[in-house]
Amino acid sequence: APWDTPGAARLDEQTMATWIRRTAKTATAREALATGVKAVFSVEPADVSLLHVLFYAASAGGWDDLIDTEGGAQQDRIVGGSQLISLRMAEELGESVRLSSPVRSIAASGDEVVAGEVSARRVIVAVPPALASRIEYDPALPGLRDQLTQRMPMGSVMKCMAVYDEPFWRADGLSGQAVSLPGPAQVIYDNTPPGGSPGVLLGFLEGDEARVLGAATEAERREAVTGTFARVFGERARNPSGYIEKDWSAEPYSRGCYAGVLGPGAWTSYGRALREPVGRVHWAGTETATRWMGYFDGAIQAGRRAAEEVRLG
């Protein structure tokens, strides 16, 4: 576990920003490292502990595995959108899935737990800690667990998509994929559907860019994002036929993206409470994974581990 690693306290007492300042020799190197942190965690290097960055990369196999499009975390897209996975699973499960029933309280007594309107012998909470912290627990959570959930905030992301009649950049031999140190859209993907029409460019606003442009109007954001696209792919990018955006920080059932992030001190002081069940309440979700924390793979690993706890419990 991260808190057992040699020198954990030393790695966890500093921010990634401190490490970058000490390590990177040029302004470009500092900016490139910062952009990498923002692309992976959607926070600024000041917001995240060096130990968390190292653990997160290690849990994926290495830093390159996080950012690579070939053979890395950024390789695949789900045709039709990722939510299709949960929609199809819900279809299979039928009426046992209850929608529009947010769980606001979990009360345990004897060998029963009541979670919202459902009662059961055990409960698995599979939402991120920042959401789990909004549930009212009876009895109250142990201090260490409750305080952990106060220390795993979500990052700031806006996802901005410009729609064009066709993916015109391909005719110029361009992939539609770019990292641009001058922002605001520093990470850009070709999000054109498999059929090849319409052409879609996707730009992420992450960390400061999400917060600063989040306070602007949609028209201002559209201009800022297509401005980056134009600089990278040519002037045609400045005039999309459509523009769609999503601010994940403003969604009360997400509270930000992509996963809970640990600032300095959190892993070493509170990490032990991340997976430890509290009575009949178990914790899953990708933040509790030891492999591919923050990703689908991590969520699956965590779900299996929690299910096994319940089976043996």
The residues that touch its own copies, with contacts defined as CB under 8 A, are 9, 12-15, 17-18, 21, 43-47, 104, 130, 133-134, 136-137, 140-144, 146-147, 150-151, 153-154, 156, 207-208, 210-211, 214-215, 247-252, 255-256, 263-266, 268-270
If the CB atoms of residues 265 and 303 are measured against its own copies, the closer one turns out to be: 265
Q: Shortest Cβ distance from residue 279 to its own copies (Å)? A: 14
Report how far Cα 309 is from the mean position of its chain's Cα atoms.
Answer: 25
* Minimal distance, residue 86 CB to its own copies, in Å: 21
Q: Which is nearer to its own copies, 199 or 256 (CB)?
A: 256
Nearest CB to its own copies, comparing residues 256 and 298: 256
> Smallest gap, in angstroms, from Cβ of residue 57 to its own copies?
20
CB of 227 to its own copies, least distance (A): 22
Q: Which is nearer to its own copies, 270 or 295 (CB)?
A: 270
Q: Which is closer to its own copies, CB of 191 or CB of 268?
A: 268
Smallest gap, in angstroms, from Cβ of residue 249 to its own copies?
Answer: 3
The residue type found at 165 is D
Measured from the CB atom, is 133 or 226 closer to its own copies?
133
Query: Which among 20, 54, 18 has a CA at the least distance from the CA of 35?
Result: 20
DSSP assignment of the chain, as one string?
Answer: -GGGSTTHHHHHSSBHHHHHHHH--SHHHHHHHHHHHHHHHSS-GGGSBHHHHHHHHHHHTSHHHHH-SSSSTTS---TT-THHHHHHHHHHHGGGS--S----EEEEETTEEEETTEEES-EEE-S-HHHHTTSEEESPPPHHHHHHHTT--EE-EEEEEEEESS-GGGGGT--S-EE-SSSSS-EEEE---TT--SEEEEEEEETHHHHHHHTS-HHHHHHHHHHHHHHHH-GGGGS-SEEEEEEGGG-TTTSSEEEE---TTHHHHHGGGTT--BTTEEE-SGGG-SSSTTSHHHHHHHHHHHHHHHHH-
- Nearest distance from C-beta of residue 149 to its own copies, angstroms: 9
**Residue 182 C-beta: closest distance to its own copies, Å:** 18
How far is it, in rounded angstroms, from Cα 1 to Cα 290? Answer: 8
Closer to its own copies by Cβ: residue 73 or 115: 115
